[in-house]
Chains A and B, each alone.
Chain A
Amino acid sequence: MENKIESYGSSLVSHMRRLLFRVLSVGPIPNHIAFILDGNRRYAKKRNLGEGMGHRVGFLTLTSLMKYCYELGVKYVTVYAFSIDNFKRRPEEVQDLMDLMLEKIEGLLKEESIVNQFGVRVYFIGNLRLLNAPVREAAEKVMKATANNNKSILLICVAYTSTDEITHAAQEAIEEKRGEIPESSEASMAQNGEISQEKHEGHRTIKLADIERHIYMGVAPDPDILVRTSGETRLSNFLLWQSSTCLLYSPKALWPEIGLRHLVWAVLNFQRVHPYLEKRRKQV
């Protein structure tokens, strides 16, 4: 009997949520939302949970938020799961996080996971060589297994910092430009003299498109909203290149405390500034 009440209850909640999303959809819906999952450890301390439990609860919150985003019609969701700076933490904590990541990444391949439920393609973004072999292999396996999904995209940033991403992209772009004009064509230029010096230099100068071609996050458009929980308002080396015009939202709730109301508030704020930003984008 209790189970029946519970199932009716959750079905009602689910219907009300879908109704709310229909109302929100009257205005523009963000295409891409990024999350900085901050506050797991503070949550665990606040609730007197064991060490490492904060992150487990955080993972459950992540699956709920993903569900809400995909139901709302947000195509891209990015999460800052593990920064290169986080390697500075205590080795035991880093190991626990790696073990948790391995467990959850392998869980994504299961039949009943959210990935299959919503047809999500998963990307792991970052300097994956910094991860240990089991985690890296599991990540590559998931990327391969979900490569044909195209309804929604999930980008998980691990071993990631924006400055590392930009340096890597610049390095690749420079390497590419260096290899571009072979020596034989330089000799023919000297004979021909028709190709102007300016054009030659222009061809070799690095352009915006060259950097964007090599940037890890190039598989997704720039985020429309960047949410950082726990009330801290800083980017912590996340999506610096991509977040120049996106709305920054920093609710005071810790990551495991974040809920539907925060997502709705972020979307309403996005809808308020969207017309102005679209106009600016077209002008530029």
Chain B
Amino acid sequence: MAFLVNSCVKVGFVFGAVSPTTLSLQAEQDALRFPFPCPLTMCCSESIARDGRRETFFANELSLVKAVQIQETLPGGLKPELLPNHIAIILDGNRRWANERGFKELLPNHRNGGRVIKEIVFLCCKWRIKVVSIFAFSTENWVRPKQVDALMSLFEEVMQNDLQEFMGYNVQISFIGDKSKLPKSLQELIATVENSTRGNMGLHLMIAINYGGRYDVMQASRSIASKVKDGSLQVEDINETLFEKELETNCAEFPNPDLLIRTSGEQRISNFYLWQLAYTEVFFSVKKLPDFEEEDFIEVLISFQKRERRYGGN
């Protein structure tokens, strides 16, 4: 049915019955649902581009319509222009939640947490957040061998079972961290997922596996050091902008989080991002990860919108 409506809109445009705005909106919705652009949409887009004045007029109209559309999907109290571009989440409290309820099995506990994360990611897709990063596994988590095994199995399970769902939402998935220490099967799966989702233009999901803020700064320093050794860079040219480009988060359009959420009430960063958190607003939620619901997420976003970000200036 949706395909039929879709095609009617496109045919309508060709015969002048449908405005470019409506067509572009349709194309937007297509982008959310289908990973590959439709040739008919591409032809229609080109005809819009040919008429420069019409393009500007309709582009402005389109942003206004888009803003209205996003506003309609946003819950009350949230303004689309004040939403963060990049949200980072530290997933904390799974084990404590399970211990409180007497659950002993590790894998089902983490699956529970995984479900919550998926819900948050799909909410972010709906509300047009551009980047979401999640701290799945730290460089310091290797000290818990049983949890390591459970988490590695969970990652493989999620990637095998849920990839189609992420593709449907047009999500691009990247993995940051030292992948060389992960099991070979997981490394291959990671490469497959990254390749399959590379062309997706929706939300960019960065999953931090075997990642640490200090690790990221170290690998950036080493990368710069090898460029200096090769002679392609002078030591005097090293500055903050250059350094930031070498960090693993540089693969995203918005590498630095605007908002960091940590569940379970603990008030520390635990070596998640480091450099990237320079001006990030931090929110500590008392809810443990499996209890973190949509209304808690909305509360965090409302709090974010009220914050005055001065960046050290006036």
Which A positions have Cβ atoms within 8 angstroms of B?
A: 83-86, 88-90, 161-164, 166-167, 170-171, 173-175, 177-178, 204-208, 211, 232-237, 240-241, 243-249, 269, 273, 280, 283-284
Contact = CB atoms under 8 A, between A and B. Distances in A.
A89 B314 contact: yes
Given A85-B313, A164-B240, A170 B224 contact: yes
B140 to A, nearest CB: 5
A177 B140 CA distance: 27
A177 B284 CA distance: 40
B214 A244 contact: yes
A171 B228 CA distance: 10
Given A174-B225, A206-B222, A211-B217, A83 B312 contact: yes
List the 9 shortest-distance A-B pairs measured between CB atoms, nearest first: A85-B312, A244-B271, A88-B313, A237-B278, A283-B143, A170-B221, A233-B282, A174-B225, A248-B267
B181 interface: no
Nearest to B227: A174
Given A86-B312, A205-B222, A206-B225, A245 B270 contact: yes
B253 interface: no
B57 to A, nearest CB: 37
B229 A178 contact: yes
B221 A246 contact: no
B190 interface: no
12 contacts: A167-B239, A170-B220, A173-B225, A177-B225, A234-B279, A240-B277, A241-B217, A241-B274, A244-B274, A246-B268, A283-B143, A284-B140
Interface of B: 140, 143, 213-214, 217-218, 220-222, 224-225, 228-229, 235, 238-240, 243-244, 266-271, 274-275, 277-284, 307, 309, 311-314
A178 B268 contact: no
A233 B268 CA distance: 11
Given A164-B240, A240-B277, A245-B268, 10 more contacts: A233-B283, A234-B309, A236-B311, A240-B213, A241-B217, A244-B214, A244-B270, A244-B271, A248-B282, A284-B140
A211 to B, nearest CB: 7
B229 A173 contact: no
Nearest to A161: B278
Contacts of A204: 229
A85 B312 CA distance: 5
A148 B219 CA distance: 38
A281 to B, nearest CB: 10
Given A164-B240, A178-B229, A208-B218, A243 B282 contact: no
Contacts of B307: 232
Contact of A174 (B228, B268, B271): B228
Nearest to A164: B240
A166 B269 CA distance: 18
A248 B283 CA distance: 11
B167 to A, nearest CB: 35
A163 B278 contact: yes
A28 B284 CA distance: 24
A89 to B, nearest CB: 6
A73 B126 CA distance: 52
Contacts of B269: 243-245, 248
Nearest to A211: B221
A85 B240 CA distance: 13
Contacts of B224: 170, 174
B211 to A, nearest CB: 12
Given A208-B218, A244-B214, A167 B313 contact: no
A166 B217 contact: yes
B313 A89 contact: yes
B271 A245 contact: yes
A89 B311 CA distance: 10
Nearest to A205: B222
Contacts of A164: 240
Contact of A237 (B229, B239, B312): B312
A163 B275 contact: yes
Nearest to B308: A232
A54 B224 CA distance: 43
